[in-house]
Chain A
Amino acid sequence: MEVQRSTTRGVPDDADLVQQTLAGRRGAFDELVERYQRRATSVAYRLLGNLHDALEVCQEAFVRAYRNLDTLADPSRFGPWQLRIVTNLSLNFRRARGPRLSFENCLLSADESREERVPDAPHSEDRPGARLAAGELETHIHAGLAALPAQQRAALVLFSIEQLPQKEVAQILDCSIEAVKWHVFQARKKMKVHLAEYL
């Protein structure tokens, strides 16, 4: 999942969009949303294991980013900064007791979903047994991730699954690169035990 950070052929980079947003152009922030919403939702989904919760966290993360955009020291680092907000919100997420936000209109219908299916994903198999097995595996992985300590879970998701650079993960988690390596190693060990029946 590539994101745009440098200006190519007149396309504004993240720093330009941030500056334009701060200057009052709301449309510039909508462009940033377009660039980072998938990654933000993906990270939140892998940390929370629930798509609805992930969309709620993602929305809240963008609202907070918009409110506090003037505190961003380096406008070119909008992506990692926004991911840090997503990660923190995900790790501290508690389902609200009152009426929750509805994202039903943001979900694809069954027909739309069939069109969107990615060929490489396990779910692309038409055999019901394969889809069920893949679904069970996914549930099992989410359960294993949920049992990890917060820092290990975040490090594993951001580094091993989202494949962000270690340096960026360290910035998001506000720790050293060595700490990231250690968290990933510990998380892998525990997840390997959890997924032993699938290996």
Chain B
Amino acid sequence: MNRAEYEQLVCAWLDEPGREDLRARVVTAAQADPEFTRLLDEWCRFDELLRRGLPEPHGVAWARFKEHLAAALDDDVDRDDVLDQALRGLQPIDDCVDWPRMRGRIVSALTGREGSVTARTARRNRWITAGAALLAAAAVLLFSFMPEAGSGAGSPGLAVVTVSRQPAAELEPNGGEAYARITVEVAAVQPEFFFSIDPITTAGPSDETADLY
């Protein structure tokens, strides 16, 4: 136990002098260390000095002081009554104020405050409108320069066509539709022309179309 701890122990015992456990610890530690013995003696003398060195206030005529207090309380109550009376006697303000003018002042103050609020709102709305217009213009420009999907023959791209698993020859002439899936990139596509030749029913001048085969 160091000096600070011992001093705290001694103070704890001085706080509760009836505690035998604290007293035993204090005495045991003092017996083991001459420095603690000196400290214990010093603390006890100090405690005694503090109590006896400050006696209760003397020289007070307590009965007269009690009367003095009673008079002070009476004065305090009387002062409250006087104050209440003075407050009740104050001139009412109704006759002292030009109420229409006062109302006008208040309205003006409110209007001024509202006008400034309206101006701020209008400015804010203008900013919002301008911002929206800019966004719309940007959107228009963006969409204008975007390429159209599927425009013009010959443009390179990918065409996806669904292919039926059945051979085309097995398809009924007038039924079904044939699809083809093209999974490779197709370069420029040349247009193809298809002709159909109707069966010849009578001999006659050749059909102009037959000359093309």
Q: Which of A55, A59, A66, A121 contacts B60 (CB 8 A)?
A: A55
Instruction: Judge if B73 is at the interface, Cβ distance under 8 Å.
Output: yes
Q: How far is the CB of B16 from chain A (nearest CB, A)?
A: 9
CB-CB contacts below 8 Å: B50-69 with A: 50-62, 64-66, 68-69
Q: How far is the CB of A27 from chain B (nearest CB, A)?
A: 9
CB-CB contacts below 8 Å: B64-82 with A: 64-66, 68-70, 72-73, 76
Q: How far is the CB of A167 from chain B (nearest CB, A)?
A: 12
Instruction: Judge if B120 is at the interface, Cβ distance under 8 Å.
Output: no
State whether B73 touches A107 (Cβ < 8 A).
no
State whether A116 touches B58 (Cβ < 8 A).
yes
CB-CB contacts below 8 Å: A143-199 with B: 156, 159-161, 166, 181, 184-185, 188-189, 191-192, 195, 198-199
A191 proximity list for chain B (CB < 8 A): 46, 50
The distance in angstroms between the C-alpha atoms of A123 and B46, with both chains bound, is 19
Instruction: Judge if B47 is at the interface, Cβ distance under 8 Å.
Output: yes
State whether B42 touches A199 (Cβ < 8 A).
yes
Q: How far is the CB of A145 from chain B (nearest CB, A)?
A: 8
If A51-B60, A181-B12 touch, whether A37 touches B65 (CB-CB below 8 Å) is yes
State whether A107 touches B59 (Cβ < 8 A).
yes
* CB-based nearest A residue for B7: A189
The distance in angstroms between the C-alpha atoms of A105 and B64, with both chains bound, is 7
B49 proximity list for chain A (CB < 8 A): 137, 195, 198-199
Instruction: Judge if B22 is at the interface, Cβ distance under 8 Å.
Output: no
If A122-B55, A185-B11, A199-B49 touch, whether A30 touches B66 (CB-CB below 8 Å) is yes
A137 proximity list for chain B (CB < 8 A): 49, 53
If A181-B12, A185-B11 touch, whether A106 touches B61 (CB-CB below 8 Å) is yes
Q: Which of B15, B45, B65, B73 contacts A66 (CB 8 A)?
A: B73
A26 proximity list for chain B (CB < 8 A): 73
CB-CB contacts below 8 Å: B1-24 with A: 7-8, 11-12, 14-15
State whether B56 touches A123 (Cβ < 8 A).
no
If A103-B65, A122-B55 touch, whether A41 touches B60 (CB-CB below 8 Å) is yes
The distance in angstroms between the C-alpha atoms of A37 and B66, with both chains bound, is 8
The distance in angstroms between the C-alpha atoms of A38 and B68, with both chains bound, is 14
State whether B51 touches A161 (Cβ < 8 A).
yes
State whether A116 touches B59 (Cβ < 8 A).
yes
State whether B70 touches A121 (Cβ < 8 A).
no
State whether B53 touches A112 (Cβ < 8 A).
no
A34 proximity list for chain B (CB < 8 A): 66
The distance in angstroms between the C-alpha atoms of A195 and B45, with both chains bound, is 11
B73 proximity list for chain A (CB < 8 A): 26, 29, 62-63, 66
Instruction: Judge if B127 is at the interface, Cβ distance under 8 Å.
Output: no
Instruction: Judge if A46 is at the interface, Cβ distance under 8 Å.
Output: yes
The distance in angstroms between the C-alpha atoms of A58 and B70, with both chains bound, is 12
Q: How far is the CB of A93 from chain B (nearest CB, A)?
A: 15
State whether B59 touches A55 (Cβ < 8 A).
no
* CB-based nearest B residue for A54: B57
Residues of B within 8 A of A (CB): 7-8, 11-12, 14-15, 42-43, 45-47, 49-62, 64-66, 68-70, 72-73, 76
Offer 26 A-B interface pairs, CB within 8 angstroms, sorted by A: A33-B70, A46-B54, A51-B57, A59-B69, A63-B73, A105-B64, A107-B59, A113-B59, A116-B59, A118-B55, A121-B55, A123-B55, A123-B58, A141-B53, A142-B54, A160-B50, A161-B51, A161-B54, A166-B15, A181-B11, A184-B11, A188-B14, A188-B43, A191-B46, A199-B45, A199-B49
Seed contacts A37-B69, A46-B54, A188-B14; 6 additional CB < 8 Å A-B pairs: A33-B69, A106-B60, A107-B59, A113-B59, A122-B52, A199-B49
